[in-house]
Structure 1
Amino acid sequence: MKTFLSIVSQPSIIIALVTFLGLLFQKNKPSKLITGTIMSFMGFTMIKAGSGILSGVLTYFSQIFSHAFHLTGIVPSNEAMMAMTLGKLGSTAALMLALALVLNIIIARFTKFKNIYLSLQLVIFMAFAVTAVLTDLNYGKTITIIIGAIFIGLYMAIMPYLLRKYTRDVVGNDEYTIAHSGSIAYFIGSWLGSKFGNKDNDTEDIKLNDSILFLKNPNVATTLTMFILFLVSGLFAGTAYVSKLADGANFWVFIMEQSAIFASGLFIVKAGVKLFIEEIVPAFKGFAKVFAPGAIASVDVLVLFEKSPNTALIGFLVSFLTGVVCIFIFPFIGLPVIVPGLMACFITGGAAGIYGNATGGFRGALISSFVDGLLLAILPAVSLPLFSFLGAQGTTFADPDFIGISALVYFIFKWF
């Protein structure tokens, strides 16, 4: 089971395998087989490397921000929850995910939900969450695996299908759709954007004064945005604290470097996305032809960040600020304080902004990323009792889909 978990937690391996099989089934020449497989593997590895850089910078920022404003509370972390429950739930979750993947392919082959979910590194967290819920309800291991696999397999096939229409608005075609754990937020945000936004006012087309035209460059806009966030938080935290956190580095040098490193990480992610999409989309047609004719690949949401880079940045800020506001509201309504997860706000908030912009322009982007920020705060707060038996202190599952599917399973099967 540990071997299987290690494989599915490395999406680059899954992507390379799908690309290899797709090119093989298309009877490509050995040179193309080798090149396509390596390039897709390299592309997704670049995405992972870039994401690691982003995560490192956001970890620094989170520490500075929490110290500056004396924040204490629940910090949602899927990785922490999985690490704490690996020994207890690992084998059950791995079998559940394996069966769910098979079910996803069967559904894609025989129904209209022709999407194969390739972001297995995400649904492994969902498998742990669902396993935890059913274990707490005293279901046996075999029943837990079957029930969980059915729900997750259906989710893997249906959720990308529901997003397909809105993904088409972003991408412009049906070559691929999105498989991500923030899909509930993207779906709600896209729908609200279409109802209350204005699609003609595209965020990327906003006219800027000539004096600030440099902000149209996404690398410059990202660097300056992160610099301002680091500067404000760093001044409140104290330059001495920041320098100590940076192993004695000069305060100004450190925040400038971290801002540029963040923009560099995002640049690497987008470059990896370009490589990855160029190889996986045509290769997947060969894979689908054998296993599920007509199916399309459902891939990680980071592939959208190249489409609307400035919108993604706005979505991140709105999602994060929404979470910050919730910190001050929740104690007055009896909910625990949820400290915003910076990486979750960046990825799901940015993606929500992109979806909202595609359906409702600038206003839609604001609405959609606001919805994402609310879900990232409210769902972990209200779902703490679902996972309390695990004994996790100070953390819980983070993403809307993990909590949403787990809650659905709980409310159905608590009666049996």
Structure 2
Amino acid sequence: MQLLQDILTGIANNVFSQVPILIGLIALAGLLLQRKPFETVVAGTVRAIVGVVILTLGVDIFTGGLVSFQAIVSSAFGLEPPTATSTLNDFLAGTGSAVPMIIALGFAVHLVLVRIFPAARYVYLTGHLMFWMSIVIAASLVEVFTDIPRTTLIVAGAVIIACYWTLQPLWIAPLMRRVVGHDQFGLGHTSSTVALMAGYGSRALRLGDPVKHDSEKLKLPRQISFFKDINVSTAVIITVIMLVAIAFADSGIVQEQMAGSDLLPWAWGLTQALRFAAGIAILLFGVRMFLAEIVPAFKGISDKVLPGTKPALDIPVAFPKAPTAVMIGFLSSTVVFLVVMAVFATAGWFVLVPPMIMLFFGGGAGGVFGNAVAGWRGAVFGGVVNGVLLAVGQWITWGLYGDTAPELGTLADPDWFAVGWLLIGAAHLLAPLGGVAVWVVTGAVLVVTVAVLALLGRRAARTGTSPATTAATTSATASPTAPASSTTASSTTVSPTATTPTTGGTHE
């Protein structure tokens, strides 16, 4: 048993938590299954890995600046982060050490579900979020079932996380197809909740027209037309925000973030803003390179091992389609969060910590999906939704994980809140059943997942089409306010490079 645990832990730590290795293995397997020539296999695999590495480097560059910005903004508001008796590190060193085994076993269950049910057409490949969502599920179970046996935690956590990985790309698929214009890959990211709310909320509120108000077609006065270049607008906007924050922050905190730099604070803030803009440019380049290799490579797996499947990938794959919407979503998300943070501080409710990385990726997701339905107005709405969700969610979640990992509240994406709250609520409701309660919760999650997949499969059978074709048709009909051109797009093969922006240019 110990040997099996060591093997699963090794796989989780060295494959699933290392995104370049995971993607490289997937690309290698796909190309080999297609019996591509040796030189094509080597080149395609290496380019896929390098694309992910470039993407990751871009993320590392600008998230480093976001972390510093987070500390400086908190200081500018005169706030101290909340404290707790337990920490995430303590949890991972104790009961949470089961997380790697939950990931490895959960991915196996996920692949079984995808293989058995044709309607489960996406393979979840966002490795680092496999780790984080597994922590959320493990901590949720431990919070309610404090004496849960380790084996029970591993099996129950694996089944629940497998169901999430299977269903999440499906519920966002109609909107995702509308964003990228094709169905060659799906979205595997824990910001799907805010993406859903941004898309369908924009539709319900009738905020605008996706063509007329498209953020990428905004008409600006000549004097500020430079904002149409995403690299320039990012650098200018982040510079202003950073310099204002530095002006009001404690000088000691600023010096701490500068880490011994000889630059003056304003000069350091300027360089951080420029690094942020450079990081975004590198990220978008890496995404295009990565997609150009992984999509055709995955065809081998789709044809030979998991028929009809497609990869579900990280949220940056949607960003090149509407980079201006990404910035609109990020900025509106940040402004709204800071306003809510000030309200909370004034009322004495809770000390919120600005989660800048989640504000960027979640706000960017809300911006892109909102823009796809209602243009720039939808992008603003998506950012607002993300800011409110992160603020209120942080407030509620910090206390829910007080005995395990309260930092999950400040590090969270919206899906963490949705899944964690539902799981804790259901577990508390069934807690009087005793030790069997965890199995009732796990069984219920599995039954619902299987029922959804079976229903989608029967729908495909009635229409006499394959699940993949039905998925494309469902996406086209379910896409909110889809223009006529979107139906045409679904019938054509769109190269991944079609997402290249025309305007310039991670826990996430």
- Same fold by TM-score greater than 0.5: yes
Select the structure of larger CA radius of gyration: 2
Letter in 2 for 1:203: S
Q: Give the stretch that moved more between structures: 272-281 or 323-332.
A: 323-332
Residue 340, structure 1, aligned to residue 354, structure 2? yes
Residue 105, structure 1, aligned to residue 111, structure 2? yes
In structure 1, what is the Cα distance between the partners aligned to 2:268 and 2:27? Answer: 41
Cα deviation, residue 29, structure 1: 0.6
Percent of aligned pairs with the same amino acid = 30
Cα deviation, residue 394, structure 1: 10
SS of residue in 2 equivalent to 1:339? coil
Match of 1:37 in 2: 45
Match of 2:28 in 1: 20
Match of 1:164 among 161, 173, 186: 173
Distance 1:60 1:193, change over 3 A: same
* Mapping for residues 196-235 of structure 1, pairs under 5 Å: 196=205, 197-198=207-208, 199-200=210-211, 201-235=213-247
Cα deviation, residue 245, structure 1: 4.3
Residue 358, structure 1, aligned to residue 365, structure 2? no
Match of 1:280 in 2: 294
Match of 2:161 in 1: 152
SS of residue in 1 equivalent to 2:311? strand
Q: Give the stretch that moved more between structures: 387-396 or 293-302.
A: 387-396
Match of 1:95 in 2: 101
Match of 2:55 in 1: 47
Match of 1:67 among 75, 84, 88: 75
Match of 1:409 in 2: 423
RMSD, aligned α-carbons: 2.3
Letter in 2 for 1:146: V
Letter in 1 for 2:233: A
Aligned residue-pair number: 413
Match of 1:195 in 2: 204
Q: Give the stretch that moved more between structures: 230-239 or 306-315.
A: 230-239
Match of 2:333 in 1: 319
In structure 2, what is the Cα distance between the partners aligned to 1:373 and 1:149? Answer: 30
Cα deviation, residue 166, structure 1: 0.6
Distance 1:81 1:49, change over 3 A: farther
Match of 1:183 among 186, 189, 192: 192
Distance 1:391 1:167, change over 3 A: closer
SS of residue in 2 equivalent to 1:306? helix
Residue 123, structure 1, aligned to residue 123, structure 2? no
Q: Give the stretch that moved more between structures: 324-333 or 265-274.
A: 324-333
Letter in 1 for 2:151: T
Residue 256, structure 1, aligned to residue 270, structure 2? yes
Cα deviation, residue 393, structure 1: 7.3
Match of 1:11 in 2: 19
Letter in 2 for 1:140: P
Cα deviation, residue 331, structure 1: 5.2
Q: Give the stretch that moved more between structures: 85-94 or 360-369.
A: 85-94
Letter in 1 for 2:339: V
Letter in 2 for 1:215: F
- Mapped contact 1:75–1:341 kept (Cα < 8 A): no
Match of 2:475 in 1: none
SS of residue in 1 equivalent to 2:186? strand
TM-score, structure 1 as length reference: 0.93
In structure 2, what is the Cα distance between the partners aligned to 1:385 and 1:234? Answer: 31
Cα deviation, residue 81, structure 1: 5.9
Q: Give the stretch that moved more between structures: 136-145 or 147-156.
A: 136-145
SS of residue in 2 equivalent to 1:293? coil
Distance 1:394 1:372, change over 3 A: closer
Letter in 1 for 2:372: A
Letter in 2 for 1:128: I
Distance 1:70 1:393, change over 3 A: same
- Mapped contact 1:93–1:145 kept (Cα < 8 A): yes
Match of 2:396 in 1: 382
Cα deviation, residue 385, structure 1: 3.1
In structure 1, what is the Cα distance between the partners aligned to 2:234 and 2:410? Answer: 29
Distance 1:116 1:74, change over 3 A: farther
In structure 2, what is the Cα distance between the partners aligned to 1:240 and 1:397? Answer: 25
Residue 400, structure 1, aligned to residue 406, structure 2? no
Letter in 2 for 1:163: I
Gaps in structure 1 of 5+ consecutive residues: none
- Mapped contact 1:356–1:366 kept (Cα < 8 A): yes
> Could you give the per-residue CA deviations for residues 22-42 of structure 1, whole angstroms, max 9, x where no partner exists?
000000011011111111111
Letter in 2 for 1:411: G
Cα deviation, residue 60, structure 1: 2.1
Match of 2:478 in 1: none
- Mapped contact 1:81–1:396 kept (Cα < 8 A): no
Distance 1:68 1:273, change over 3 A: same
Gaps in structure 2 of 5+ consecutive residues: 1-5, 431-436, 438-508
Cα deviation, residue 133, structure 1: 2.1
Cα deviation, residue 147, structure 1: 2.0
* Mapping for residues 127-146 of structure 1, pairs under 5 Å: 127-136=134-143, 137=145, 138-146=147-155
Q: Give the stretch that moved more between structures: 293-302 or 282-291.
A: 282-291
SS of residue in 2 equivalent to 1:174? coil
Distance 1:75 1:214, change over 3 A: farther
